[in-house]
Structure formats: C-alpha cells, structure tokens
Amino acid sequence: MENQRLTYLLQQHLADKATRQEQQELLALLQADTNGEEVRSVIAELMQAETPVIPVHQESWQAMVQGIVNVDKTPLQAPVRTSGIVWLYRCCAAAIVIIASMGLYYFLIRKSPAPVAQNTPMHFNEITTAPGDQKEVVLPDGSHLWLHSASSIRYPDSFSDRERTVTLSGEAWFDVEHADKIPFVIHTGEITTQVIGTAFDIKAYPAQKNIIVSVQRGKVRVSAGNQMLANLEKGKQVRITGTTAELRNIDIAHIAAWKSGNLYYKDEMLADIIADLQRVFNVSIQVKRNTLKEVVTTAAFNKDIGIRQALDILCRITDGRLSQKNGIYIIE
C-alpha cells in the first residue's frame, strides 16, 4: 500500500470529494492492510498536519468517527475541548479499531443513505474494433465517439456526478456533451486528457511511440500524472513522447478525417504511417530497411484507392521499392 495514495484518498473522503471509484480504491487499500500498520501511520501523519492543540478540521475528524460508530448504534461521547490532542488520538484509535472490526466497509459508506447500492460492483463495457473496422459508440451521458481500427474503449454503465471517465487504447474521435461541473476524462496509458465539452481526436496505440491529441472544437487539457503537458484549443495538436510535449497547429478538416475514409499524414515517420495502414486495410506490410522506417514524410490519400496504390505513393515519396510475396507487402 502506498502511504501517499492512501493519505490522498482519506483526505478526499473526509472532504466529501471522493468519487465512487476513489471510494472503491480506498476500500481495497484498507482491506489489503491486514495488520493496520499503514493505516495507523497515515492517520499519525494526518494528525501531525493538524495543530498540536486543537485540530483545524475537528468537525471532519469527529464526523468520521461518529459516522462509523452510528452504524453500529453505539453513541460517541463528545470530545473534551480543553484537551484537543488527546481527543484526536482517541478518535483516531477508535477509528482504527472500528474499521478493523467492521471489515472497513461502513467507513466508506457512512454518508450514503443506501449502503447496499455502494456495495454493488460497478459494471464496465468494453467496445473493440477489428483491423479495417470503425464503430460509433454512444456513451451514458449522450457523448458520441467514433472508434478507429484496432482500438478499444472502456466505460461504466453510468457516470458519477463528479466525473465522466473512460479508458482508450488506439484511436477515437470524441464529441463530448457539455457539463460544466462534470469533467470528461480519458485515460490512455499514463496520459490523461480532460475536457468539459468539445470535439477532439486521441491517437494512442500501444505500439506507438507517441500519443497525439488534436482539438477540433472547444478546449482540452492534457497531463501526465501531476504534470501539465498542454492546454489545447481549436486547431491545436500535441504530440507526447514520454513526458515531452510538442505543440503544433493542425487544419481542423484533417482531424479524424479517417471517419470519412481520408488519410492525412503530416511530418510522420514512415514506420508510423505503415502501422496505421496495416490497421486500416487489415494487411501485413514489412519495411526491410531501418533507415527507411525513420524517414519523415507527408502524404494524403483516400481509403478507396486501395492499399496497393497507397503504398505505391509512399514508395515514390520515400524512394522505396514495393513488392508482394505470400500476401505480404514488402518495401525495401
């Protein structure tokens, strides 16, 4: 168990800001601490963060313990105001004992009028596309997304009233319903993209070296953990490699043009273009020379011309030679 994460989740819970997913994560962390040592350590740190005489957030600490005890129908004695630190230690000790004895469950659901609902595991949907396919998906809040070839999206049956969270692998274009107080969050590996209401494209295939976010409408914030990488507006794009972000301008007509069969590549390595064409056309393509894979080029064509003509165009641009053997296209 990581103390820093446990501390954060406890603080979120006490401030009544924890999402349902954060509450479930907190429950799992507490259940994993079988001997309670790490819980005691974290609570000790939280106590030290308060004043040494009377806790700054005395009501929050008292409410935490009071809520736990109320579940068991045992009244909590009012703390003695003149000995704040003694009161705080007793509250925390009581919290540890009660949490351990009650399986930690009621600690997380003390504010909920319907405990049974909180105990119901959240159900997730996962939609995938095969190479060569695309799929439109309508999310629980009415937002739309178009899933590109060889991609997947994972989302819950219903979003919380604090956050709308999905997980993407591959590429998708999003048209997000506006909601001022409920941000829409997309997780792609270690990169997080957050919006309120906008239209944008994210390209984040697992084998791809970089992650690309392009904004067609509205504003988008992109981060890696606690590090802010970019704030994007209409016509802006960020390419992320590790924690390095490269900002670019982009023609909004080219964003997610793949939905209508148009493929645009600007200043892309040939290896990345080839990987994309394999997904779009569901074919196998080999580039024999490593130096050729790293050639940066720009190209555009419509899917209807077929893979052979698309590869012919690329070979003319990059001075490559195309052949085919046993159903595999070879560029050398």
**Sequence ranges of the domains in the chain:** 3-119, 128-253, 261-331
Q: What end-to-end distance do the CA atoms of the chain give, in Å?
A: 51
Domain 261-331 adopts which CATH fold?
Phage tail protein beta-alpha-beta fold (3.55.50)
Lowest mean pLDDT segment, chosen from 112-116, 218-222, 289-293: 112-116
Distance, CA of 19 to CA of 22 (rounded, Å): 5
Q: Greater confidence, 301 or 92?
A: 301
Main-chain dihedrals φ then ψ at residue 312, nearest 5 degrees: -60, -40
Give pLDDT, residue 207.
87
Of these ranges, 52-61, 95-104, 151-160, the one predicted with the greatest mean pLDDT is 151-160
Lowest mean pLDDT segment, chosen from 88-97, 156-165, 241-250, 265-274: 88-97
Stretch (H or E) spanning 224: strand 220-224
Give pLDDT, residue 11.
73
User: Strand locations in the chain, DSSP E?
Assistant: 124-128, 135-138, 144-147, 152-156, 164-175, 184-188, 191-195, 199-204, 211-217, 220-224, 227-232, 236-241, 244-249, 262-269, 284-287, 296-302, 322-325, 328-331
Q: Greater confidence, 117 or 307?
A: 307
Summarize the confidence of residues 271-283 as an average pLDDT.
Answer: 95
Distance, CA of 199 to CA of 287 (rounded, Å): 35
Main-chain dihedrals φ then ψ at residue 97, nearest 5 degrees: -65, -45
Best CA proximity match to 219, nearest among 193, 248, 243: 193
Summarize the confidence of residues 139-149 as an average pLDDT.
Answer: 96
Distance, CA of 290 to CA of 283 (rounded, Å): 20
Options 3.30.1600.10, 2.60.120.1440, 1.10.540.10, 3.30.1330.10; CATH of 128-253:
2.60.120.1440
Give pLDDT, residue 40.
67
Give pLDDT, residue 136.
96
Is the separation of the CB atoms in 112 and 67 below 8 Å?
no
State the pLDDT confidence band at 53, using cuts at 50, 70 and 90.
very low
State the pLDDT confidence band at 34, using cuts at 50, 70 and 90.
low
Chain-centroid distance, C-alpha 210:
16
State the pLDDT confidence band at 70, using cuts at 50, 70 and 90.
very low
**Contacting residues for 281 by C-beta, under 8 A, at least 6 apart:** 131, 132, 303, 306, 307, 310
Distance, CA of 148 to CA of 146 (rounded, Å): 6
**Contacting residues for 16 by C-beta, under 8 A, at least 6 apart:** 111
Is the separation of the CB atoms in 275 and 318 below 8 Å?
no
State the pLDDT confidence band at 117, using cuts at 50, 70 and 90.
very low
Summarize the confidence of residues 268-276 as an average pLDDT.
Answer: 94
Same fold, 128-253 and 261-331: no
Give pLDDT, residue 46.
63
State the pLDDT confidence band at 18, using cuts at 50, 70 and 90.
confident
Q: How many CA atoms lie within 13 A of 173 on its CB side?
A: 19
Burial 182-200 (b: 16+ CB within 10 A, else e): bbbebebeebbbbbbbbbb
Q: Which residues pair with 168 in a beta bridge?
A: 153
Q: Residue 144 pLDDT > 50, yes or no?
A: yes
pLDDT digits (tens, 9 = 90+) for 199-242: 999 999 998 889 999 999 999 999 998 899 999 999 999 999 98
Q: Residue 80 pLDDT > 70, yes or no?
A: no
Q: What is the DSSP letter of 209?
A: S
As a whole-number percent, the residues of the chain with pLDDT over 90 amount to 57
Of these ranges, 40-49, 78-87, 96-105, 113-122, the one predicted with the greatest mean pLDDT is 40-49
